Amino acid sequence: MEGQLRRLFVRHRDHILVVVPVLAMLLLGVIFNLSERFHLFAERHEAWQIDEFLPAFVVAGLLYMVLLVRRTRGLRVELQRRRRAESEANQLARHDSLTGLVNRRIFADQIAARMARLAPGTEISLLMLDLDRFKPVNDTYGHEGGDAMLVTIARRLEHLAGANGMVARIGGDEFACIVQHPAGSHLPVETAEAILAAVAKPVQLRGGLAEVSASVGLVTSPPGASDAEAMLRAADFAMYRAKRSGRSNYCVFAAGIEAEMGERAQLELDMHAGINRGEFVPYFQPIVELASGALIGFEALARWNHPSRGLIAPDRFIPIAEEAGMIQDLGFAVLRGACIEARRWPQHLTLSVNISPLQLNDPWLPQRILQVLCSTGFAPARLIVEITETRLVQDIDAARVILVSLRNAGIQIALDDFGTGYASLKHLRELQFNRIKIDREFIQDMHAGDNGQIIRAILSLSEGLGLPVTAEGIETDESAALLASLGCQYGQGFLYSQAVEAEEALHIARAAHYLGHGVAPAGAAAFPEMLSAAP
């Protein structure tokens, strides 16, 4: 019976705060005979009705005590719910909700703590990695598939780090890992290589196998170092250096990398101002008909007239523009300038422009191009948009929508760098390109290895599809003659001219039109004579 009463009234230690005072009141009532005193009071004042209600008062008091105890149970549940919410909030503040890994802030704290208690003869190495080709996974398998990929990569990294290491999700598709090791050990490099191998393993998602790779930056803390943020920045520099070196690669941080990244950061700042100031201008390289040498058009190539560094080639600033999200503004600034200059050429000459792979992520790209054409008064039929084969294969559905819109507007489409990717015959037929461009690496070494056979295969394929072909990078008369004999219709390269400024391109166009023949009908040696003969 005693146990039943205890379970009824004291189910939790908080109930004692209610039960003890009530029992104390009952005990005082017994000691001072409050019940008898109450009865005498009722007789003295002829309030017998009150005396009759005494048992009811006792019962009501007991019921109130029970209800109060029950109420504390609800309060306890609410307190537990709040404690769980606080615990979850603390978990979210310290860990990534998807992978369960610690976040950047906690990771930086852990780096600083570990560096502070490093034993003599030991070092800490930080490896930061960014997943390559992760966006196509999201596009193909959806965000659910992308999340599953990130969780799988996180578990693989935790396995590699072991009990003494730590892995964090820095953000998006970036991760970081710290390992502690004896000074001078090869463990950091071995870990970087193991990360590359682990990330490269296919991941089974709903719908198929997906593959990504990684770019890894590695930095080892010097003895006595304590600045975790500086270490994170250094690893970040090395990671981007690895990414620019071809991806699926790792780079060990060195002092020169920081200087290089500092210069890159300065160029990025200069680019913002340079786009607004009109420093990015088109240069033009002639495109000729190989059989006759006739000039048929120009390809516009971006150049940066930097106020203090002079002319900067695109291989230096295009990657920065793509990473910094400025490629759209830069690309359209060059397109606008090229269209304005091309209006001055004879009407039969075409203008070819390159579209960055990242620009194809914009579903409004066709409308933006048409807006430039309308504002400059350049005819859509004279414009040729070149799209790289690699980007085409990455997202064929998005490319199809954009190409159909451009083609419906009268713009021609060229498949650029053909032979360097994996575009299939089905894609060539389905997307209805107007022409194909052979990459310069095949032309410049066309007599080496299998390049000659590849060129013949491309030309045979294009002939079967009825697509004209332009060869890039022609530097000798022999190469031009061989390509023409194989059925290649058009060509461009240093044999005819390098990319030139707008005024010189206009001079070439007018000279070719005036003389009624191409840029260099007798080879590169005839080029100066032709220009001098122009009015």
Cα Rg of the chain (Å, integer): 38
Measure the CA–CA gap between 282 and 378, rounded to whole angstroms: 15
Q: What tokens were used for 21?
A: 């005072």
pLDDT for position 523: 40
For residue 126, give the 3-state DSSP assignment. strand
Q: Is the pLDDT of residue 499 over 70?
A: yes
Spatial contact of 394 and 136, defined as CB atoms under 8 Å apart: yes
Q: What local confidence, expressed as pLDDT, does residue 229 receive?
A: 85
Confidence at 90, pLDDT banded by 50, 70, 90: low
Q: Left (φ > 0), alpha (ψ -120 to 50) or beta: where does 297 sit?
A: left
CB 385 within 8 A of CB 357: no
Tell me: the pLDDT tens digits for 123-134? 899 999 999 888
Question: Is residue 265 in some structural domain?
Answer: no
β-strand pairing of 490-491 with 280-289: antiparallel
pLDDT at 88 over 70: no
For position 200, what pLDDT does the model report? 93
In DSSP terms, which residues pair with 204 in a beta bridge? Answer: 209
Q: What is the pLDDT of residue 315?
A: 86
CB 499 within 8 A of CB 303: yes
Q: Position of tokens 């990360």? A: 195
Q: How confident is the model at residue 445 (pLDDT cuts 50, 70, 90)?
A: confident
Cβ pair 517, 294 in contact under 8 A: yes
Question: What is the C-alpha separation between 188 and 255, in angstroms, rounded?
Answer: 18
CA dist 188 and 414 (Å) reads: 46
> Under 8 Å CB-to-CB from 354, ≥6 apart: which residues?
299, 300, 301, 386, 388, 416
456 belongs to a structural domain: yes
Q: Kindly report the CATH number assigned to the domain that includes residue 508.
A: 3.20.20.450
* CA 106/CA 217 separation, integer angstroms: 20
Higher pLDDT, 96 or 305: 305
| DSSP category for residue 325 | T
What are phi and psi for residue 227, nearest 5 degrees?
A: -95, 100
> Is there a domain that residue 263 lies in?
no
The residue type at 17: L
- Using the predicted structure, report yes or no on whether residue 414 has a pLDDT greater than 70: yes
Count CB atoms within 10 A of the CB of residue 29. Answer: 14
Query: Which among 221, 223, 225 is positioned nearest to 235, based on CA atoms?
Result: 221
Among 4-18, 47-61, 209-223, top mean pLDDT goes to 209-223
Q: What is the pLDDT of residue 256?
A: 75
Residues 109 and 238 in one domain: yes
Q: What is the pLDDT of residues 167-204, one digit of tens each?
A: 999 988 999 999 988 988 899 999 999 999 999 999 99
Is pLDDT above 80 for 4? no
Closest CA to 127 of 279, 246, 286, 239: 239
Residue 249 maps to a domain: yes
Give the residue numbers spanning the domain of 57.
2-94
Residues 360 and 234 in one domain: no
Q: Which residues pair with 220 in a beta bridge?
A: 125
**Within a domain: residue 88?**
yes
Whether residue 261 lies inside any domain: the answer is no
Tokens encoding 49: 């009705």
* Residue ending a domain, choose from 53, 75, 94: 94
Residues 372, 483: one domain?
yes
Reported as a single tens digit per residue, the pLDDT across 455-480 is: 898 899 889 889 999 999 999 999 99
521 band by pLDDT with thresholds 50, 70 and 90: very low
71 located within any domain: yes
- Single-letter residue type at 208: G
**Residues 445 and 305 grouped into a single domain:** yes
Q: How many domains does the chain have?
A: 3
Q: Compute CA distances 148 → 96, 136, 151, 190, 419, whole Å.
A: 14, 14, 5, 26, 33
For residues 456 and 344, membership in a common domain is answered with yes
pLDDT at 533 over 50: no
Question: 114 with 248, same domain?
Answer: yes
**DSSP conformation class of 420:** S
Q: What is the spatial distance between Cα 128 and Cα 96, in angstroms, rounded to a whole number? A: 16
The answer on 112 and 82 residing in a single domain is no
Report the pLDDT value the prediction gives residue 101, as an integer from 0 to 100: 92
Q: Note whether 335 and 464 are same-domain residues.
A: yes
Nearest C-alpha neighbor of 264 from the set 239, 232, 234, 240: 240
Cα gap 329→325, rounded to integer Å: 9
Read off the tokens for 56.
């009811």
Question: What percent of the chain shows pLDDT beyond 70?
Answer: 74
pLDDT in tens, 354-411: 988 778 878 899 999 999 999 999 999 999 999 876 556 556 777 788 889 999 999 9
In angstroms, rounded to a whole number, what is the distance separating the alpha carbons of residues 59 and 54? 9
CA distances from 317 to 180, 264, 519 (A): 38, 9, 30
Q: Per-residue confidence at 294, pLDDT binned at 50, 70, 90?
A: very high
User: C-alpha angle 411/417/422, rounded to 5°?
Assistant: 105
Based on the domain organization, do 364 and 446 belong to the same domain?
Answer: yes
Last residue of a domain, one of 220, 253, 286: 253
What is the separation, in whole angstroms, between the first and last Cα of the chain? 121
Residues listed for the chain: 535
**Model confidence band, residue 431 (pLDDT cutoffs 50, 70, 90):** confident
Residue with tokens 């066709």: 366
Residue 476 lies in a domain: yes
DSSP single-letter state for residue 523: B
Query: Tokens representing 360?
Result: 């194809």
pLDDT at residue 360, as a whole number: 80
Closest-CA residue to 393 (of 438, 352, 426, 436): 426
Do residue 132 and residue 85 come from a single domain?
no
Distance of alpha carbon 138 from alpha carbon 402, whole angstroms: 20
Give the tens place of pLDDT for each residue, 195-242.
999 999 999 988 788 899 999 999 998 655 568 888 888 898 899 888
Question: 278 and 235 in one domain?
Answer: no
Please tell me what DSSP assigns to residue 280.
E
CATH of residue 115? 3.30.70.270
113 and 248 share a domain?
Answer: yes
